[in-house]
Structure 1
Amino acid sequence: MPSSSSDVALEVRGLGKRYEIGEQERYLALRDVIARAVTKPLAGLTGRGRSDRSAESDRIFWALRDVDFTLNHGEALGIIGRNGAGKSTLLKILSRITEPTEGEAVVAGRVGALLEVGTGFHPELTGRENILLNGSILGMRRTEILRKFDEIVDFADVHRFIDTPVKRFSSGMRARLAFAVAAFLETDILVVDEVLAVGDAEFQRKCMGKMGDATREGRTVLFVTHNMTAVESLCARSIWLEGGRVHADGPTSEVVSKYLSTSFSLQSEQSWPDVQEAPGNHTVRLHRVAVHPEGGSSSDAIDVRTPISIDIDYWNLKEGARLNLSLHVYNEQGVEVFNALPYLEREWQGKPFPRGLYRDTCHIPANLLNDGLHRVELLVVENSAYVIFHMEDALLFDVRDDPIGREGWYGNWEGAVRPQLAWETRQLEAGAAIPEAMRD
């Protein structure tokens, strides 16, 4: 039975959606229908039924299974997960675009959805006509739509093109208009799927502000995104979908941290306890490599504000060897971010190493690396000239973004590094130096 609480905007119980993998069902002639009707009762006797059922089960794919959650009015819920986790399928069910195979979703009120850029727009109709059409589909009266019309056009900034067919809009114009229609028409629940993937910084800032306004007005927001900074900024609570099931549900910071720490094929630590089996050669063999926050462990999350240490433990097998290490750090685009060498290490560099186990630690300051995946390549150099050992993929770690200091920007922060540099602004001359004709 649905919840009796007037605070509940959405209640999802045992929701599941099943698809069949393979070719679309072909047209059936009358003889095919008759043949099926005749052979079906005999399937159990011939043994075909079991193999048919097995073949059918191989074609079944559950995009969602056993999904349960309740959402109150005025809440903003983030939905995160990898591609194919079931996020968009869930939103399509909640938006009544597709029906669930099992379970139910009880929605209290009208739903406004932006699932893809321009979803629900007719390309041959003008922007004005599409606004009126979308409002009508939501069950709004023409007077209600017209009351919001100017706000929609102002937000989308498409005044000059409002009577132009939408097919001639740029992707950015369609994104702005689609979001404005979904956000400003008077729906109780706003469903948004990756709206921040398109648009400039100003558009992103306006979108996030409008979704925040919606929750303060008592509307409910469901926000699907791969942008962890955006979801942490907007949503106090998040759900992590994995394989069509709810893997975690709770405070956004906790859910995002769990997701990022387990959802990537990371290699933040490797170790080889047996020197005879460890990678290397007759001079040097590796014991352990690890990347971690300063004072933390390799399982701890790293963000752009985190000071990082890279540890390399190795056995020197050659008495008197003069060794030094070289680290090359690459970002996920394959760009080399930097090459680190132990020039500032004074105790051992340039000196002969007795046999034994050593640890080199490279310290990477906070506010240097950009967010994203990073790969560490390790070289062992002898006599400052000869590379005697090389490991291309010694470590792979992820640097998380952090919303502090972004000032409303949720797109990619360009560049291989992201330093916090000193900056100052000074006025060199007063306004009187500007000619009158040039003043605004």
Structure 2
Amino acid sequence: MTVIEAENISKRYIIDHINGNAKGNTLREIVTDNIKNLFTKKETNQVSHEDFWALKDVSFNINQGDRVGIIGSNGAGKSTLLKVLSRITEPTEGKITIKGRVASLLEVGTGFHPELSGRENIFLNGAVLGMKRQDIKKQFDAIVDFAGVEKFLDTPVKRYSSGMYVRLGFAISAHLEPEILIVDEVLAVGDADFQRKCLGKMKDASTSGRTILFVSHNLTAVQGLCNKAMFMQKGQLMEMGETNQVLATYLSHVQKTALESWWDTPEEAPGNDKVRLKSIKLVPSYLDNQKHLDVRTPFKIKIEFWNMMENANLNISLHLNSLTGECIFNIGTESRAFDKGVIYAECEVPADFLNDGSYSISFMVVKDTASAIYNFEESLIFEIEDYREGTAWYGKWPGYVRPKINFPITQLELESIS
């Protein structure tokens, strides 16, 4: 049975642009400019308007019991779509038909009255969902236990931290048994244990026939939880279907940077009068029909540079860093004597070594194993996606490395345990 039907949904916002003499947009600057304009012949600021379509002609059907992951980059229209489906905002064009009671967890504090206590907000949210007081009471203890806010139950929620807001909001939404549960990326606010509980709760809810819409950048969680996925891009629905197929399409679109940089002549290349970078590339050995790097993918790093020095003992020191600056590893080549010309180096990073995440490659050309000739910083930036099987945990796997190390477990002997 179809429970959500969207027909040509579009949402337009109007963006104002101020053109003219205003030098800022603070209240003080605006008032000052307006007063000056009263006594001068300067032209007043002109305001131009631009239409921005956050959603454009989006159509789809969702059946009862579907678990739909909505994926896409920032600004793709995912959150706007959920707000439209939650009736928080009306579409500019199109029609939505929803059958069933909807609970939404979209932003920290959504649906809460800040002056009311956690206890009062539980009953308020239940009433909004159309539940009777006695039905809310049956779920009350489970909500409080799941959220872990028992000590603060009679405290106004305006004093709650963002994590407490999210825990209580999700607990209310999940335990008051809506037919349709809509969850945005707010789960990222919680810690790993809370994420695990939330994902488990959503999986349990789906087995009882409830429909779930789940926006997340955690593709592993989407893959583990959802039987369908929607790929959004620039306000349009690019693809909807079986989760693995849609994820493959999405990942083929989101390679953040090219895996190769090169220069035709030394004059235009980075470096100095001694060395210039000719090319650097990352060459993956994709599995099957892959089009993106994931934790299973081995790859080679290939570097070419122009050497402008005669008979110089040179080596390369390569750093692989996280984008937050931590060095994951540093390796170096042997030092050898080279004449003028192009020098080439290559190394291979094995599969099942790096964790998912964003990384950068920097390297130095070193003379006589001691003097850095030039440091080519962040010469290449790349992304490794996650891949997981045989586990029910879909949160972020900790650490920068994720080696596949033999780790057997066995029972030594059978014995009775009293």
The two structures have a TM-score, normalised by structure 2, of 0.80
CA offsets, 1:273-311, max 9 Å, x none? 5677655677655443211334679x9422233323211
Residue from 203, 210, 219 that aligns with 1:219: 210
AA aligned opposite 2:283: H
> 1:366 maps to which residue?
351
Q: Determine the C-alpha separation between the residues in 2 that align with 1:154 and 1:333.
A: 36
Structural mapping, 1:262-341, within 5 Å: 262-263=253-254, 265-272=256-263, 286-294=277-285, 300-314=291-305, 321-341=312-332
- What is aligned with 1:378? 363
- Work out whether residues 238 and 252 of structure 1, in 8 Å CA contact, stay in contact via their aligned partners in 2: yes
Paired residue secondary structure (1:131): helix
CA RMSD of aligned residues (A): 3.3
Does structure 1 residue 146 correspond to structure 2 residue 131? no
SS at 2:16 equivalent:
coil
Letter in structure 2 aligned against 1:11: E
Q: Which structure: greater strand fraction?
A: 2
Residues 382 and 388, structure 1, Cα contact 8 Å, conserved in 2:
yes
Equivalent residue, structure 2, for 1:46: none
Deviations 1:17-58 (A, max 9, x none): 1112239xxxxxxxxxxxxxxxxxxxxxxxxxxxxxx976x4
Corresponding residue of 2:190: 199
Distance 2:252 2:263 in 1: 23
Task: Please list the CA deviations of residues 383-422 of structure 1 after superposition, one character each: whole Å capped at 9, or x if unmatched.
Answer: 4344444422321101223334775261472x44444566
Match of 1:167 in 2: 158
The alignment status of 1:11 with 2:5, answered yes or no, reads yes
For residues 267 and 64 of structure 1, the distance between their equivalents in structure 2, rounded to whole angstroms, comes to: 28
User: In the superposition, relative to structure 1, how do residues 380 and 300 fare at CA in structure 2: closer, same or farther (>3 Å)?
Assistant: farther
Moved more, 354-363 or 91-100: 354-363
Per-residue CA shift, 1:325-366, capped at 9, x if unaligned? 2212221112222222124xxxxx53x447765542212233
1:43-79 CA-partner distances (Å, limit 9, x unpaired): xxxxxxxxxxx976x4222111111111111111111
SS at match of 1:333: coil
The answer to whether the Cα contact below 8 Å between 2:365 and 2:373 also exists between their aligned partners in 1 is yes
What is the CA deviation profile of residues 208-265 of structure 1, one whole-angstrom value per residue up to 9, with x for unaligned ones?
Answer: 0111112211111100112222112211322222221123333333433443444354
Q: Which residue of 2 aligns with 1:238?
A: 229
Distance of 2:139 and 2:131 partners within structure 1? 11
Structure 1's 105 and 332: CA in aligned 2 closer, same or farther, altered over 3 A? same
Cα distance in 2, alignment partners of residues 192 and 342 from structure 1? 50
Structure number with bigger Rg? 1
Question: For the residues of structure 1 that align with 2:360 and 2:193, how far apart are their CA atoms?
Answer: 33
Distance 1:426 1:71 in 2: 45
**Which of 44, 51, 72 lines up with 1:81 in the alignment?**
72
Amino acid corresponding to residue 356 of structure 2 in structure 1: D
Q: Give the match's secondary structure for 1:291.
A: strand
Aligned-partner Cα distance in 1 for 2:2–2:406: 48
Letter paired with 2:5? E
Q: For residues 100 and 170 of structure 1, do their structure 2 counterparts lie closer, same or farther at Cα, with a shift above 3 Å needed?
A: same
- CA distance change for structure 1 residues 252 and 360 in 2, over 3 Å: closer, same or farther? farther
- 1:96 aligned to 2:87? yes
Matches within 5 A, 1:396-407: 396-404=381-389
Mapped partners of 2:375, 2:287: distance in 1: 27
Structure 1 residue 102, shift from structure 2 partner: 0.2
Distance 1:295 1:363, change over 3 A: same
Q: Separation in 2 of the partners of 1:357 and 1:419?
A: 35
Contact (CA 8 Å) 2:4, 2:62: kept in 1 or not?
A: yes
Deviation by residue 1:141-163 (Cα, 9 ceiling, x = unmatched): 33332333333233223344434
- 1:173-229 deviation line (CA, Å, top 9, x unaligned): 322221111112232111001132122222211110111112211111100112222
Give the distance between the partners of 1:279 and 1:157, measured in 2 at CA: 55
Which residue of 2 is the match for residue 21 of structure 1? 15
Aligned match of 2:29 = none
Q: Distance in 2 between matches of 1:398 and 1:242?
A: 19
8 Å Cα contact 1:373/1:397 also seen in 2? yes
Bigger mean CA offset, 265-274 vs 330-339: 265-274
Moved more, 130-139 or 256-265: 256-265
Measured at CA, do residues 295 and 202 of structure 1 come closer, stay the same or move farther in structure 2, by a change above 3 Å?
Answer: closer
SS in 2 for 1:99: coil
SS in 2 for 1:401: coil
Quick one: distance in 2 between partners of 1:285 and 1:82? 35
Structure 1 unpaired stretches of 5+: 1-6, 24-53, 344-348, 428-440
Is contact 1:280–1:389 with CA below 8 Å preserved after alignment? yes
Aligned-partner Cα distance in 1 for 2:149–2:287: 51
Distance 2:275 2:148 in 1: 64
Q: TM-score, normalised by structure 1?
A: 0.76
Q: Distance in 2 between matches of 1:258 and 1:366?
A: 22
**C-alpha deviation, 1:96, in angstroms:** 0.8
| Matched residue, 1:431 | none
In the other structure, the counterpart of 2:35 is none
Check 1:295–1:154 CA distance in 2 against 1; reply closer, same or farther (3 A cut): closer
